[in-house]
Amino acid sequence: MSTKIRADFSAIANWIQPDSSLLDLGCGDGDFLEYIRAQKNVQTYGVEISDLSVLACVEKGLDVIQQDLEAGLALFENQSFDMVVLSQTLQTIHETESILNEIVRVGKECIISFPNFAHWSHRIDILLGRMPVSKSLPFDWYNTPNVRVLTIADFEALASKIGIKILDRVILHEGKEIKFCANLLGSLAIYRVQSA
């Protein structure tokens, strides 16, 4: 397993029950799947599009399906997983409403995390006339995999609009939980949700 664990992994793990089933969408090279399997003895599955990332998962002994999330999750039945995780992937999705509706259909509960574009440092960059580059948004505008930028307030408004119930949230900045002025001071938002 990778020696450097992302700050959001432990926050996400707090919401996952031992011996449950978990689907990680956009699982990358499987670092989170490997981490949660070791922490909670969870039955894990991943979905990833990148050839190299799928190969990395297979080399780690992880169950992974190569698929484009934009095509939907039709191969999964309703409520077929205890938890579905979409970690720092939402901002790369074109069909945002569609994928959110699909994950709450497939998962009894879901965890969604994303970089918060409204963090104060990003606001200053915009005021200075530049697109932000930060730890949570590490790419330049011309080479970013992100197709959307969103804020905590944006996500909560969309969840309400499309019938997604927010069960809990944790807002982080540099690994520390932010409880005050979250949309201004938090750089990473993590939500636990389900279908309303």
**Residue labelled with tokens 């070791």:** 38
| Structural domain boundaries in the chain | 7-195
Whether the predicted pLDDT of 136 surpasses 70: yes
Per-residue confidence (pLDDT) for residue 2, from 0 to 100: 47
pTM, two decimals, is 0.91
Q: Look over the chain and give the mean of its residue pLDDT values, rounded to a whole number.
A: 93
Whether the predicted pLDDT of 178 surpasses 50: yes
Question: Among the CATH numbers 3.40.30.10, 3.20.20.210, 3.40.50.150, 3.40.1080.10, which is that of 7-195?
Answer: 3.40.50.150
Per-residue confidence (pLDDT) for residue 147, from 0 to 100: 86
Per-residue confidence (pLDDT) for residue 168, from 0 to 100: 97
| Residues above pLDDT 90, as percent of the chain | 80
In the predicted model, what is the mean pLDDT of residues 17-31?
A: 95
